[in-house]
Amino acid sequence: MTEIYETQPERTDLPLVVMPAVLGAMIDPIKAQFPVLKDVARVRMFEEFTSDETVLIERLAEADALLVGGYHISDGMLRAIAGHVKCIVFCGTGVASYINLDLARELKVRVCNAEHYGDHAVAEHTFALLFELIRRTGTLDKDVKDGNWAWAGGDGLQLAGRRMGIIGLGGIGATVASIARAFGMEVSAWNSHVPAEHFARSGATPVNDLNELIETSDVVSVHLPLNDATRGIITADNLDHLRPGTLFVNTARSEVIASGALLARLQRGDIPAALDVFDHEPLKASDPVCHIPGIVLTPHVGWRTDGAFKELTRQMIACLKAYFAGEDYNVVVSER
């Protein structure tokens, strides 16, 4: 039986916030934030994860606001709940990948997200992926434990002295730049609507032309947010400028790359890549990207650290408190 955690159940005069599904790692951090809503709103949290829309809609029957994370809200589900759910708070930044924002605007449902909560988490995961590419520690660990003590395959690449090209110099990209410089790398970044202070703070060199950035980099790391302006902004032509052997890492969103373009480029077999995000999630074992040699894949976990969960849940509850007070906080779509 699903455990249901409720706060102030006797306060039926207060609006109801429902979290109909929750990732296990979020349970304790978000519970720690619920006292902020004392005398503001009741909370009902179902302590299991499901993406079954029939179940989600049923659990949301009495909700005035929704806390959502880890699953997509279809247009049908959004329409089904919009009559009573007037505020949706998403547990992350890239809400455009999970909710039709234009439809939410049409239905006058506020949508909020969290910002910069995972800058360090995603930046650190970027380097976890990169180190797996260049040092193959996971494979070597398995070899040693299997009794295979061999130096063949153990020779790696060194980051110091290589150039990293960053596409997207926001909070995460700037953090990646700082880490890369600490490893002794030269760092450049695409100068596309990036404030000058971002370059000054991160130490990255601006490059105006994306193709130039890509073709002059030893490592290309993607950190663009997903929005209408960035969807598909990295094209097949851009990826053609990757030199054989260039390391390619994407911990942002797959949709910032033109559909099918990255798969086609990787299938040539000359680009070692590490990906945490995909066109279709969860990724199936039959997906072509799973069968490309030299590729490292992780299941969209770059943002999942203890520190990120703590800041993420703080912002989620702050969004709700602001909504019920008639104020704005991290509003992506306004209901007004």
Strand partners, 66: 18, 88
pLDDT, tens digit only, all 336 positions of the chain: 789 999 999 999 999 999 999 999 999 999 999 999 999 999 999 999 999 999 999 999 999 999 998 899 999 999 999 999 999 999 998 898 899 999 999 999 999 999 999 999 999 999 999 999 999 999 889 889 999 887 766 789 999 999 999 999 999 999 999 999 999 999 999 999 899 999 999 999 999 999 999 999 999 999 999 888 999 999 999 999 999 999 999 999 999 999 999 999 999 999 999 999 999 888 999 999 999 999 999 999 999 999 999 999 999 999 999 999 999 999 999 998
Same domain, 15 and 113: yes
DSSP3 helix / strand / coil % (the chain, rounded to 5): 35, 15, 45
In a 3-state reduction of DSSP, which class is residue 173? Answer: helix
For 243, residues 6+ apart whose C-beta sits below 8 A from its C-beta are 215
- Total length of the chain: 336
CA-to-CA dists, residue 40 to 28, 123, 310, 328, angstroms: 20, 35, 21, 16
CA angle 91, 93, 98 (to 5 degrees): 70
Closest CA to 16 of 333, 327, 324, 330: 324
The predicted model scores a pTM of: 0.87
88 and 152 within one domain: no
Quote the domain boundaries for residue 314: 4-117+306-333
Beta bridge partners of 46: 4
Closest C-alpha among 180, 136, 137 to residue 162: 180
Q: Are 85 and 109 in contact (CB under 8 A)?
A: yes
My answer on whether 236 and 107 are in the same domain is no
Same domain, 131 and 271: yes
Same domain membership, residue 181 and residue 193: yes
Q: How many domains does the chain have?
A: 2
Residue 170 sits in the same domain as residue 191: yes
266 and 149 part of one domain: yes
Return the residue matching tokens 């699953």.
71
DSSP states of 30-75: HHTTGGGGTTT-EEEEESS----HHHHHHHTTT-SEEEE-SS---H
Claim to verify: residue 35 and residue 166 sit in the same structural domain? no
CATH of the domain at 70: 3.40.50.720
Q: Could you tell me if 47 and 105 lie in one domain?
A: yes
Residues 107 and 231 in one domain: no
* 125 and 259 belong to one structural domain: yes
3-state secondary structure of 297: strand
